[in-house]
Amino acid sequence: MAAATAGKTGSARTSGGSTRTPTSTATASGRPVRRLVIVESPSKARKIQPYLGDDYVVESSVGHIRDLPRGAADVPAKYKGESWARLGVDVDNQFSPLYIVTPEKKSTVSDLREALKSVDELLLATDPDREGEAIAWHLLETLKPKVPVRRMVFHEITESAIRAAAENTRELDQNLVDAQETRRILDRLYGYEVSPVLWKKVMPKLSAGRVQSVTTRLVVQRERDRIAFRSAEYWDIAATLDAGAEATPRTFGARLVQVDDARVATGRDFDSLGQLKKASRPSSGDGAGVVVLNEAEARRLADGLQGRDLAVTSVESKPYTRKPYPPFMTSTLQQEAGRKLRFSSERTMRSAQRLYENGYITYMRTDSTTLSDSAIQAARAQARELYGDAFVADKPRQYTRKVKNAQEAHEAIRPAGESFRTPGDIAREVDGDDFRLYELVWQRTIASQMNDARGTTVSVRIGGTAATGESVVFASSGRTITFPGFLKAYVETVDDGSSAQADDAESRLPELTEGQALTAAELNPDGHSTSPPSRFTEPALIKVMEELGIGRPSTYASTIKTILDRGYVWKKGSALVPSWVAFSVVGLMEAHFGQLVDYDFTAEMEDDLDSIASGDDSRVHWLNGFYFGAENRGSEIAKAGGLKKLVGANLEEIDARTINSITMFTDAQDRDVVVRVGRYGPYLERIVDGESQRANLPDELPPDELTEEIAEKLFSVPQEGRKLGTDPETGHEVVVKEGRFGPYVTELLPEPEVPEGAKKKPAKPKPRTGSLLKSMSVETVTLADALKLLSLPRVVGKDPESGDEITAQNGRYGPYLKKGTDSRSLADEEQLFTVTLEEALELYKQPKQRGRGRGAAQPPLRELGEDPSTSKKMVIKDGRFGPYVTDGETNASLRKGDSVEELTDERASELLAERRAKAPAKKTTTTTRRTAAASKSGGTSARSSTAKKTGTSTTKKTTTSRARKTPTN
């Protein structure tokens, strides 16, 4: 049963009005009080049960049990006709949400109801965070318990903590529940209002959302930076200096850092576009500034320094200490498993889930780095045992963190238990991914309780004067680690493509003193070029998501899966590359929904949710601002007039053609080279002599590799398809191609010879073409198939009465016969080649019929009874769009979940009633209205705006903007 509630009632109070705390231990009859405890996770329930004993029954909700309906199919009949049914939120009535028990949770809910029957009290022990509070409230609303209810919270799963939590319960925090509900509704409104804009303007089935859209934007922006990047070259001198025979090591490396008063530029002086940063330019007033050496200068200097005296001008020694890293939380685990083990975040989470369920590690979806006291003791004990006292930190280390949106409902991820099993201990039980991940968690946890690594860093500067007069300074630094501390147990891996040094890397310098003379064993001019910012890997992207506070531990992996599934991003090795569609979508969002893809949007939302949780703001007030707008307060989107207005205005204003055109650069003739995102994938276009020139873009070409050079190459490749062979009759080559209307075969005609003295080129003859039949595919079509297709239309014969020729051909709506302007559909494609004149004439004898099968009317799939409301006989028929029920006047498609065999008369009647409610007008008016609507949406759709037909039906704005654009194209 779908439990629907529109809006909250006063029943959201716990303990049924009772205020007794702590709860009593016995019933009036003297029997011990039995309590049902509901947690979120089944394995947590198993773990807690023994701590609480026989008077408690511990069950789990397995996450959320109710949610907004996913789509129309989930909406209970009662609300189907409502204007807000699509959203599942009654925006005009206090944003009342419609909650239904999630289909897969129905059995969980009935199990919980059953368990509730035998207890005297209910303890809602869901996680101590916003979502957990909401789950508790949903349980209360759904189970409607008759017994007292209390909220139980704990942050640690130990016997004492659990027992204490059971004794110190509280009431449900309605404000916190409100904050969660606000978050849920905001996400629904954002996702379900903005996604349809993308369907109309870019492509069907695309999606937008608070988390995925910003994440996609990050990847697109990085690619844009890479495209804009221009590599810069800078030089310095790498010297090998000799400290004399006594020194160890005798020689060491140093680099030129200064010439006269100017600092020699290094990679850090260049920005993300590869250009010298403003602050580093000589004109910035920063002393004598920075000098970028070129090759000639570097060589000249190196030559001028040959054999010159060098001397140590300063030696600076500083202690090096490095603190251990905090224990893992979800994001850092995914990052390190990605870097060290090369696991995708999904693979990491799958493995972690197994380890958790089998009792090897603590809960794996957490944003906390906190360890329980017993875990700290266990880690210290094990570190002591393995590495000795000196390696264990003097005092227990606790890692608190203040990170955006942290809810900290769980512990850090660590080995489970009061004492840890070493990887060796579990090697027999666990292998593969799970073993390697456990080892990682174990090492990191142990290391977190160990001592700092200590050592020394030494910075040396060496001066000299070149024969040509310049004074130069070389620099060198060394790091020695005298006490490795935690590094002995665990070293974090450095990101791919990062210039950072691992924490345990050492480099030794000899003992040097100020004034000490040195000689240069080698002076090598050294050229460098700046490199573009590297692409995101999954771990790197998750790190940024976490820093921006977008997404939650339970969703990092699934968000990445979503943007992969939608085709916004694809993987090249471990790098994430944005698709051209992503460029279109992000471009649209930035231009028209800028507030929604602002990197700070979630952070601001979290602040606002906090004020709802603290009671300073209300759910309805906030949502009103977000959806309907508010002038003086609230988010940027509220000031912009609210989401609803924005979506409406943008549907009219956004020009699909502009959105789906990504101008890359201008070619040598100053023509814009544009990537167009079309229905059949992206292609390149430019206007040459007033004509559009197009080229296919290879699927595997990352946007930043589309250089001018490559573009020229692509343009020069003829639009060729797969060659099938040569037509023996004409000698023309036959190819199969993907076209605007799907796959087709065509012949390649030889270039016509231009007769001498001819002023104009002769008109090009048109090649024969033919769409593939349904039974054929681009991959498997043969030359024989192609020749058959090219032989169409086939002359079937002449109508003896009129003398008109009857032909069989393949058209827009499939195979058909044509006689003048009169046509008849053929039942199957094979008939194109086999139908005889007699059969054709037989077909023409029958009047043109709609919905006909092979001449006879299609029998219904199933007969139903009479519609109780109209007393009309109902039948189920099969149509173009699948089975539908009809009473002769109204037709209604069967929905998801309806089956032809099991459809009841009641359900059929309901479907018909719904259909009637939607289109109450009479036939004629319905037709005109539908036509109008169709041409309107056609005018704004990406697909049609590129097709010729819509020229007349495009909106004024589209037309003007296209007209304006034409000259530049």
Partner DNA sequence: CAGTGAGCGAGCTTCCGCTTGACTT
The catalytic site residues sit at: 363
User: Quick one: which of 270, 835, 827 has its CA closest to 531?
Assistant: 270
Give whichever of 524 and 692 is closer to DNA, judged by the CB atom: 692
Give whichever of 80 and 528 is closer to DNA, judged by the CB atom: 80
| Placement of tokens 């195979």 in the chain | 815
Element (H, E) at 794: strand 794-798
CA dihedral sign of residues 503, 505, 510, 515: negative
Binding of DNA at residue 865 (CB under 7 A)? no
The piece of 242-250, 311-319, 439-447, 883-891 that touches DNA (CB under 7 A) is: 883-891
Count of residues interacting with DNA (CB under 7 A) = 114
Helix, strand, coil proportions of the chain in percent (round to 5)? 40, 20, 40
Q: Can you tell me which of 15, 35, 40, 583 binds DNA, judged by CB under 7 A?
A: 40
Q: Which residues pair with 457 in a beta bridge?
A: 318, 479
Asked if 339 and 539 touch (Cβ cutoff 8 Å), the reply is yes
Q: Token digits for 798? A: 């002449």
Binding of DNA at residue 204 (CB under 7 A)? yes
The piece of 186-194, 630-638, 641-649, 800-808 that touches DNA (CB under 7 A) is: 186-194
| Binding-residue pattern over the window 711 to 750 for DNA, x denoting contact by CB under 7 A | --------x-----------------xxxxxxxx-x----
944-963 residues near DNA, rule: CB under 7 A: 946-949
The piece of 303-311, 569-577, 625-633, 808-816 that touches DNA (CB under 7 A) is: 808-816
CA dihedral sign of residues 228, 233, 239, 240: positive
Work out how close the CB of 718 gets to DNA at its nearest, in angstroms, rounded to a whole number: 10
User: Can you state the angle between helices 345-357 and 432-448, rounded to 10 degrees?
Assistant: 80
User: Can you state the angle between helices 330-341 and 556-565, rounded to 10 degrees?
Assistant: 60
Give whichever of 457 and 555 is closer to DNA, judged by the CB atom: 555
Work out how close the CB of 700 gets to DNA at its nearest, in angstroms, rounded to a whole number: 16
Element (H, E) at 476: strand 471-483
| Placement of tokens 């949106």 in the chain | 405
Q: Where are the alpha helices (DSSP H) in 494-599?
A: 538-548, 556-565, 580-592
842-861 residues near DNA, rule: CB under 7 A: 848, 850-851
Q: Where are the alpha helices (DSSP H) in 477-618?
A: 538-548, 556-565, 580-592, 601-613
Q: Can you tell me which of 559, 658, 909, 954 binds DNA, judged by CB under 7 A?
A: 559
Binding of DNA at residue 49 (CB under 7 A)? no
Q: Tell me 293's DSSP state.
A: B
Asked if 521 and 242 touch (Cβ cutoff 8 Å), the reply is yes
Q: Can you tell me which of 328, 420, 583, 816 binds DNA, judged by CB under 7 A?
A: 816
Q: Token digits for 271? A: 């920005």
| Placement of tokens 């494609």 in the chain | 829
Asked if 452 and 485 touch (Cβ cutoff 8 Å), the reply is yes
Burial (Cβ within 10 Å: 0-12, 13-18, ≥19) of residue 327: buried
Binding of DNA at residue 678 (CB under 7 A)? yes
Q: Can you tell me which of 331, 451, 562, 584 binds DNA, judged by CB under 7 A?
A: 562
641: left (phi over 0), alpha (psi -120 to 50) or beta: left
Work out how close the CB of 166 gets to DNA at its nearest, in angstroms, rounded to a whole number: 20
What distance in Å separates the CA atoms of residue 712 and residue 734, rounded to the nearest whole number?
26
Q: What single letter denotes the amino acid at residue 723?
A: K
460: left (phi over 0), alpha (psi -120 to 50) or beta: beta
353-392 residues near DNA, rule: CB under 7 A: 353, 356-357, 363, 365
The piece of 29-37, 182-190, 294-302, 580-588 that touches DNA (CB under 7 A) is: 182-190
Give whichever of 340 and 694 is closer to DNA, judged by the CB atom: 694
Element (H, E) at 167: helix 159-167
Work out how close the CB of 18 gets to DNA at its nearest, in angstroms, rounded to a whole number: 29
- The strand pair at 121-124 and 575-578 is best described as unpaired
What distance in Å separates the CA atoms of residue 936 and residue 957, rounded to the nearest whole number?
13
| Placement of tokens 């498997």 in the chain | 780
What distance in Å separates the CA atoms of residue 141 and residue 137, rounded to the nearest whole number?
6
Work out how close the CB of 704 gets to DNA at its nearest, in angstroms, rounded to a whole number: 22
Q: Can you tell me which of 335, 584, 771, 958 binds DNA, judged by CB under 7 A?
A: 771
Q: Can you tell me which of 821, 871, 899, 952 binds DNA, judged by CB under 7 A?
A: 821
Binding of DNA at residue 820 (CB under 7 A)? no
| Binding-residue pattern over the window 69 to 88 for DNA, x denoting contact by CB under 7 A | -xxxx------------x--
Contacts (Cβ under 8 Å, ≥6 apart) of 930: none
Binding of DNA at residue 551 (CB under 7 A)? yes
What distance in Å separates the CA atoms of residue 733 and residue 708, rounded to the nearest whole number?
31
Binding of DNA at residue 671 (CB under 7 A)? no
User: Can you state the angle between helices 159-167 and 42-52, rounded to 10 degrees?
Assistant: 80
Give whichever of 246 and 779 is closer to DNA, judged by the CB atom: 779
Q: Can you tell me which of 8, 13, 47, 64 binds DNA, judged by CB under 7 A?
A: 64
Asked if 460 and 312 touch (Cβ cutoff 8 Å), the reply is yes
Q: Can you tell me which of 117, 205, 571, 633 binds DNA, judged by CB under 7 A?
A: 205
| Binding-residue pattern over the window 519 to 548 for DNA, x denoting contact by CB under 7 A | ------------------------------
Give whichever of 493 and 893 is closer to DNA, judged by the CB atom: 893
Q: Can you tell me which of 287, 698, 811, 865 binds DNA, judged by CB under 7 A?
A: 811
Work out how close the CB of 649 gets to DNA at its nearest, in angstroms, rounded to a whole number: 18
293-312 residues near DNA, rule: CB under 7 A: none
400-459 residues near DNA, rule: CB under 7 A: 407
580-609 residues near DNA, rule: CB under 7 A: 602
Give whichever of 510 and 682 is closer to DNA, judged by the CB atom: 682
Binding of DNA at residue 42 (CB under 7 A)? yes
897-916 residues near DNA, rule: CB under 7 A: 915
116-155 residues near DNA, rule: CB under 7 A: 127, 129-132, 135
User: Quick one: which of 116, 150, 113 has its CA closest to 14?
Assistant: 150
Work out how close the CB of 387 gets to DNA at its nearest, in angstroms, rounded to a whole number: 34
Q: Can you tell me which of 47, 299, 657, 877 binds DNA, judged by CB under 7 A?
A: 877
Binding of DNA at residue 201 (CB under 7 A)? no
The piece of 34-42, 277-285, 502-510, 582-590 that touches DNA (CB under 7 A) is: 34-42
What distance in Å separates the CA atoms of residue 363 and residue 372, rounded to the nearest whole number?
13
Q: Can you tell me which of 191, 478, 587, 625 binds DNA, judged by CB under 7 A?
A: 191
Work out how close the CB of 397 gets to DNA at its nearest, in angstroms, rounded to a whole number: 26
Distances (CA, A) of 367 to 333, 363, 382, 547, 668: 11, 11, 25, 12, 53
Work out how close the CB of 495 gets to DNA at its nearest, in angstroms, rounded to a whole number: 24
Work out how close the CB of 199 gets to DNA at its nearest, in angstroms, rounded to a whole number: 4
User: Quick one: which of 823, 218, 812, 282 has its CA closest to 540?
Assistant: 218
210-249 residues near DNA, rule: CB under 7 A: 210-213
Give whichever of 273 and 900 is closer to DNA, judged by the CB atom: 900
